[in-house]
Amino acid sequence: MSKQIWINGDLVLAENATISVYDHGLLYGDGVFEGIRAYNGRIFKMESHLKRLYASAAAIRLEIPYEVDKLGQALRDTLQANDKTDAYFRLCVTRGNGPLGINPFLCKQATVFIIVDDISMYPRELYDNGMAIIIAKTIRNHPDALCPSIKSLNYLNNILGKIEAIDAGVLEAVMLNHKGNVAECTADNLFIVRDNAQGNAEVITPPITAGALEGVTMNTVLALAEEVGLPINRVDLKPDELFAANEVFLTGTAAEVIPVTRIDDKTIGDGTPGPITQQLSKAFHGYVNTYVCED
């Protein structure tokens, strides 16, 4: 069956889904997006994703020409049109067509499109055995230059980090901020597990002020950790703290929960996925597979 794309209010065949070369999303990366999952025919955390989308758009003064409910229905319609139950959405809002030059207010109306497809961020064996990553030399954009809570179409900063990872023979890279603290990875939020002062394992992820996106999967995992009684913390992390951690894992809509067992030339823990990572991964998959409401 040919894929169908929702674009500006209509479902069209993928080969007919086009945008203008004068669209400012293409010309200048001017726009916002969300990656969203569907499990068992249910759209996971749709309200959280749409809330973030509209907040990102408002932050760059981009008006989305549809009400939230209309866009939510468009997600459901696109899923059904593609006969999918488990799928990945890419929902994009661009500034729309305009003249050459970066003035965004000369664009008359935003372009909105929804892709529904399959996605596999990492090979299955990395989820079972753990993955190796590096620390990139490319730092995260300064949070005063571009607020990390804006999920912008312009991913060049992340792509440069990804290129470093691929050149090093791995699939992901940690990105540090301008202070030398851990921000996030190129496409995922990062967590560590270490013992706190009481000798109990605690789950830590950098704060948003470090330059990390407020991830929907990240927040889900934090809530699951809290439910099972694991202490959680949002504090700045230095690279050395990653190497000394008991466990490291990543989260993301596409990645879900994946263990990290090596960073640069350092083995994390005993070099195998740790028990807390496995516990939270199991809890996450149990949660998404029984998910029945939007939030």
**Average pLDDT, stretch 6-27?**
97
The range of the structural domain enclosing residue 74 comes to 4-117
Band (295; pLDDT cuts 50, 70, 90): very low
Secondary structure element (H or E) that encloses residue 161, with its range: helix 156-167
Residue 225 reports pLDDT greater than 90: yes
Domain boundary among 84, 117, 150: 117
Q: Where does residue 290 rank: exposed (0-12), middle (13-18), buried (19+ CB within 10 A)?
A: exposed
Residue among 230, 162, 227, 151 at smallest CA distance from 193: 230
Q: How confident is the model over 142-152, as pLDDT tens digits?
A: 999 999 999 99
Residue 64 belongs to domain with CATH number: 3.30.470.10
Residue 136 reports pLDDT greater than 80: yes
Q: Are 26 and 94 in contact (CB under 8 A)?
A: yes
Domain boundary among 117, 132, 150: 117
Active site residues: 151
Residue 294 lies in a domain: no
Domain count, the chain: 2
Whether residues 74 and 144 share a domain: the answer is no
Residue 24 lies in a domain: yes
Q: Where does residue 264 rank: exposed (0-12), middle (13-18), buried (19+ CB within 10 A)?
A: middle
Residue among 273, 187, 196 at smallest CA distance from 235: 196
* Interatomic CA distance for residues 285 and 281, integer angstroms: 6
Q: Where does residue 190 rank: exposed (0-12), middle (13-18), buried (19+ CB within 10 A)?
A: buried
Mean pLDDT, the chain, as a whole number? 95
